[in-house]
Structure 1
Amino acid sequence: MQKINPQKVSKPVGSLIGLKPEYEERYIILHKNTFPGVLDRIRKSNIRNYSIFLLDGILFSHFEYIGNDFVADMKAIADPVTKDWWKLTDPMQEPLPARKKGEWWAEMDLLLCFGENPKSYLKANRFAYTAEIKRGLEKVVKNIFSNFDERLKALFVKANIHNHIVYCKNSKLYVYFEYTGNDFSNDDKELNSKPMVEKFNSELGKNLKTQWQQMKEVFHTD
């Protein structure tokens, strides 16, 4: 579980932090046995659909905030039970050098969010992917996502992909989405065969240094 910077209201919220390699197994086991009091505090602070993903020593978290006072709700998370939880998790984590003042987890920039369906995550398969942007092309990539039009969005939703969210931090993209269909492989193949999607993927791909890599979900609470 993360300490969240209460200075900025954002829905959804995506953040990053490092995980020391010697603690990976312990961290995963610990999050499979999260303190009930911590989970209760998360809900009381109006956080829903909270997932943490892991790949190559980087933790990527995504959640949705549904309350009306983000600052107050985030401050309230630091109750005695959660502070005890942080005593276990903090030594395992390694904050990113590029984080803002006061942050433990580094909050990311939101580039794209569509296909919102507040109930979809209750029966969805959750996915997260990451890719690195070529040096100096961050603005180009951000512009590509800013031009992601309604026709493209409709194709993704038709393929049973909801809550499709793209974040950016330190020249890396992090994508989160929920799949609510029955055959992801087939729906994904059909989606990527659409001319508009092929064109988008080609344009984006020219600016990426690496291929997309899937991350492993290590924590989730509705």
Structure 2
Amino acid sequence: MDRSKVPYANAQRKAFVGTFQENQRTTFEYRLKQIDEELIHILLAADFQNMTFYAKENQVYFYSEYVGKNYETEAGELFSDESFRKLDSDLKSLLEPDSQKRTWIPMKEVFHTD
């Protein structure tokens, strides 16, 4: 298969897992539903595509694809946006930190297909 014809075949896939604080799953889901079009535009402009959250019991999984050229630069620009920082802060406040004080724990990709 000629992968050059597959859209976003060279995307950097990012996945994380977090644990909800007790009784915070509903609040977390509600907060995600409040994301406005402006913030979605900011995320897409920073070359983040296919952003997905999954929840099961007390855990939340986050997946996104970065399709730009410089992840560190664009992620830094994203975090300089006030509305994104507020969303990030709001969501993290609903999650339990791990032993390293991380609320979003990176997951290792073991397989994918485009």
TM category (shorter chain) comes to: 0.7 to 0.9
TM-score by length of 1: 0.45
Match of 1:191 in 2: 78
Instruction: Give the aligned length.
Output: 104
Q: Give the Å deviation of 1:212.
A: 0.7
Q: Give the Å deviation of 1:119.
A: 2.3
The answer to whether the aligner puts 1:214 opposite 2:106 as a matched pair is yes
Q: Give the Å deviation of 1:179.
A: 0.7
> Which whole-Å deviations, capped at 9, do the CAs of 1:102-121 have from their partners, x for residues lacking one?
xxxxxxxxxxxxxxxx823x
Q: Give the Å deviation of 1:155.
A: 0.7
Q: Give the Å deviation of 1:182.
A: 1.2
Structure 1 unmatched ranges of 5 or more:
1-117
Tell me the secondary structure at the aligned position of residue 128 of structure 1: strand
Which whole-Å CA distance do the structure 2 matches of 1:159 and 1:198 have between them? 14
Which whole-Å CA distance do the structure 1 matches of 2:94 and 2:112 have between them? 32
Tell me the secondary structure at the aligned position of residue 96 of structure 2: coil
Q: Give the Å deviation of 1:206.
A: 1.5
Find 1:155's aligned residue among 42, 51, 58: 42
Tell me the secondary structure at the aligned position of residue 217 of structure 1: coil
Match of 2:63 in 1: 176
TM-score by length of 2: 0.85
Following superposition, which runs of at least 4 residues in structure 1 exceed 2 angstroms of deviation?
none
Match of 1:202 in 2: 89
Q: Give the Å deviation of 1:208.
A: 1.0
Which whole-Å CA distance do the structure 1 matches of 2:85 and 2:79 have between them? 6
Q: Greater RCO between the two (CA within 8 Å, min separation 6)?
A: 2
> Which whole-Å deviations, capped at 9, do the CAs of 1:179-213 have from their partners, x for residues lacking one?
11111111111101101011111211221112111
Tell me the secondary structure at the aligned position of residue 185 of structure 1: helix
Structure 2 unmatched ranges of 5 or more:
1-5, 98-102
Match of 2:15 in 1: 128
Tell me the secondary structure at the aligned position of residue 21 of structure 2: coil
Which whole-Å CA distance do the structure 2 matches of 1:126 and 1:175 have between them? 11
Matches within 5 A, 1:19-168: 119-120=7-8, 122-168=9-55
CA RMSD between the two structures: 1.3
Q: Larger Cα Rg: Structure 1 or Structure 2?
A: 1
Tell me the secondary structure at the aligned position of residue 216 of structure 1: coil
Which whole-Å CA distance do the structure 1 matches of 2:52 and 2:74 have between them? 18
Q: Give the Å deviation of 1:129.
A: 0.8
